[in-house]
Chains A and B, each alone.
Chain A
């Protein structure tokens, strides 16, 4: 079982600043890694697949990087609508999510 660990658990950022979120896999998942955004009362929304490919309609301020066991989601110039919880998920075998990182307003 591959365990996904996200850090930090929460992050306070001012609008316009950059947020850097980390996701670590307990063993290599190659580039089979997706990132999602979830707002209260809503379903998760796909941001990134293949570790770095933005989904349709996702703004360029969202970028993903990494491979193997270490991954990063970077949100540049944070907008008010970006304050949410972010999850990573591997799909190298049975899919599993990380515990999430909450990004809130500083």
Chain B
């Protein structure tokens, strides 16, 4: 069955960096686009970044553009989110999710990983 397991979250000071990973199994990872989505009590669910199945295209929310980088290693079935210049407002639970072939929604989600940006 499809499994997405995130890791790499934690507490980080403002201005610092953090990298999230998402290990995929149970499907042909290299055939699917992938998302990062985050959730906060105040702003709800927010799409952060999307990457094409082969990594050739990447799209970002305006709130993270220039600071976050989505990438993938299809040989390792792993998705990444490199987060630089972190701000307090980046504090959220971050989910990785699979993009089905029918559109930019998410048919399978990881369990979520909490990132707290605080001094």
Residues in chain A within 8 A of chain B (CB atoms): 32, 34, 42-46, 49-50, 55, 87, 89, 91, 94-97, 99-100
The DSSP consensus for interface residues of chain B is loop
A95 touches B47 (CB 8 A): yes
Given contacts A43-B95, A96-B47, contact A91 B112 (CB under 8 A): no
How far, in angstroms, from A100 to B103 measured CA to CA in the complex? 21
B112, A43: Cβ atoms closer than 8 Å: yes
Q: Does B45 lie within 8 Å of A44, measured CB to CB? A: yes
Return the CB mask of B19-60 against A: 1 if under 8 Å, else 0: 000000000000000000000000011110000000000010
Residue from the list B44, B105, B110 in contact with A91, Cβ < 8 A? B105
Cα distance, A91 to B105, chains bound together (Å): 6
Chain B contact residues, CB within 8 Å of chain A: 44-47, 59, 61, 95, 97, 100, 102-112
Q: Considering the chains assembled together, what is the distance between the CA atoms of A100 and B43 in angstroms? A: 11
- Give every chain B residue within 8 A of A32 (Cβ-Cβ): 103
What is the distance, in angstroms, from B68's C-beta to the closest C-beta of chain A? Answer: 15
Contacts across chains A and B counted by CB atoms under 8 Å: 48
Partner pick for A94 among B47, B100, B107, CB 8 A cutoff: B47
Q: Which residue of A is nearest B96, CB measured?
A: A43
Contact of A43 among B61, B105, B109 (CB under 8 A): B109
Residues of A within 8 A of B97 (CB): 43
